[in-house]
Amino acid sequence: MSVLDALGDPTWFTDDWPATPYHRVGSASELRTTLTWSALDAILNDQGLQAPAFRMARDHRLVPAELVTRPERHTSQAVQGLADPVRIGAELADGATLVLQGLQRFWPPLADACRRLAADIGHPVFVNAYLTPRTEQGFGAHHDPYHAWLTQISGSKSWRLWAPDHDPAKDPADLEVVLAEGDVLWIPRGWWHSGSSGSEPSLHLTFTVWATKLDAVLRALLAEVLRDPGLARELPPGAFRDGTRTEATVADAMGEISDMIAKLVPETVATRVVGARLDQFAPLPARPVSSAIGEDRTVRFHAHPEGVLHSAGIRLRTADRLITLEPGQEALWHAVSGRTDSFTLTELDADQALLDLLVDARLVCAAPCPGR
C-alpha cells in the first residue's frame, strides 16, 4: 500500500484538493510504526535536537525556549538551543504539548514516507509530530496556510473544525471527530481546527502539503518577460504629469507587457516552474560513505523510482539531478525502477554506464532505507 492509499483515496487527489475535511478509520495503521515511543526517546536523547526543530505549548501559549533547552559546551564548537530531555519531560508532566518539527529531515522512516507521499501527489511534504499529555490541549483554534493529513499514532484526540468563513469564537463547529489509533483526518487549507487529548496521552503525525501555487507560474512569467529587450523602452516626458495622462501611459505599458507575455512559449515557462519547485523537494539519500569512496559491487542496492519528480521522455529530473537516457536505456530504467527487491549491481544484466548514472543520481541506492 502506498502512503497516499493509507491517507485517502488517490482518486480524490487527481484533479484538485478535497475542499472539505474527511475522516478515515484505521487506514493509516501501518504508519504507526514510523514513530514509536522508543523512537521519540532516541530523537530527544540521541539526535542532538536543536530549536527550532522542536517547540512546546501549554494553554495555547508557547513555552519559552530557554525553559526546555541547554547550551552544549563540552566540545570545541559550542552549540546553543539543544533540547534538554529532562526539562522537556518535566514540561510534559506538567501538561505541555511537545511538537517535533520537520521530522523528515532526520528520522529515516518518516523521510521515506514523505518522499513517497510527495511523489504520489507531485508536491513536497513535511511532517510534524505532536505529543499531548492526557486531557490536555496545547493549541487553541487556529488555521494553517497548508493542506494536511493528521494520522493518530497512539492514544486518541478529539477535533473540532470550522469552515474558513466561520468564527470558532462564536460559531458551532462544522465537524467534530475523535481520532483513534490508525485514523486519518484531512484538513483543507484555511479550515479552523482545535484538538484535545483523551484519557491517554496522544501522539499524532501531521503530513503537510507544501503545494506549488499559482504565484510560482507568475514568478516564472516575470523571469521570462524580464529578458525581453522591449522592457528597456523609456516612457515619454510628462508621462506622470496628471492623472489622465498617467492612466493612459500605464494602460499602454500594460498592453505592451501583455503582448510580451502572449509571445512566451508555455514549454519555456513550464521548464522554469519545474526547475524552481525542485528546490522544495528533499534530495534522495546520499550514497554510503564507504560506497562513495570505493564502490563495492557486492553491496545490495534498491531502486528509488519516487525520486523522479519530473520526466519528459528520456529526461528524468530529481531534486538535484538531470538524467538524460541514451537510446535503448529507457526500457532498462523501467525494468530497474520496477524492482521491489534488493540486488547487487553485478546481478543485473544491464548497461553498466546506465547503472553508474543511476547510482550517481541515487535512483539506485545502497543507503539504509526502512522497509527495503
Would you say 162 and 168 are in contact if contact means Cβ atoms under 8 Å apart? yes
* DSSP-assigned beta bridge partners for residue 132: 202
- What's the order of all strands across the beta sheet hosting 310-312? 310-312, 315-317, 322-324
pLDDT at 353 (0 to 100): 79
User: DSSP letter string over 222-241?
Assistant: HHHHTT-GGGGPPPPTTTTS
pLDDT at 367 (0 to 100): 62
pLDDT at 292 (0 to 100): 64
What are the extents of the domains in the chain?
A: 3-209, 214-266, 289-365
* C-alpha grid cell, residue 148: 494536511
* 111 band by pLDDT with thresholds 50, 70 and 90: very high
- Asked whether the predicted pLDDT for residue 344 surpasses 80, the reply is no
Task: Name which of 141, 154, 148 is nearest 126 in CA terms.
Answer: 148
Most trustworthy range by pLDDT among 44-53, 203-212, 313-322, 353-362 = 203-212
Would you say 217 and 269 are in contact if contact means Cβ atoms under 8 Å apart? yes
CATH class of 3-209: mainly beta
- Asked whether the predicted pLDDT for residue 297 surpasses 70, the reply is no
* C-alpha grid cell, residue 121: 501527489
Please tell me the distance from the alpha carbon of residue 77 to that of residue 145, in angstroms, as a whole number: 37
Please tell me the distance from the alpha carbon of residue 251 to that of residue 257, in angstroms, as a whole number: 10
In the chain, the amino acid numbered 243 is G
Dihedral of CA atoms 289, 292, 295, 301 in degrees, nearest 10, equals 70
pLDDT at 358 (0 to 100): 87
Question: What separation, in Å, do the N-terminal and C-terminal C-alpha atoms of the chain show?
Answer: 14
pLDDT at 371 (0 to 100): 54
Does the pTM surpass 0.75? The reply is yes
* 338 band by pLDDT with thresholds 50, 70 and 90: confident
* 57 band by pLDDT with thresholds 50, 70 and 90: very high
Task: Name which of 311, 308, 323 is nearest 353 in CA terms.
Answer: 323
**Residue 331 host element (H or E):** helix 329-337
Task: Name which of 35, 56, 58 is nearest 47 in CA terms.
Answer: 35
Please tell me the distance from the alpha carbon of residue 84 to that of residue 133, in angstroms, as a whole number: 18
The bridge status of strand 184-187 relative to strand 147-154 is: antiparallel
- Asked whether the predicted pLDDT for residue 244 surpasses 80, the reply is yes
| Residues 6 or more apart whose Cβ sits within 8 Å of residue 342 | 300, 301, 302, 372
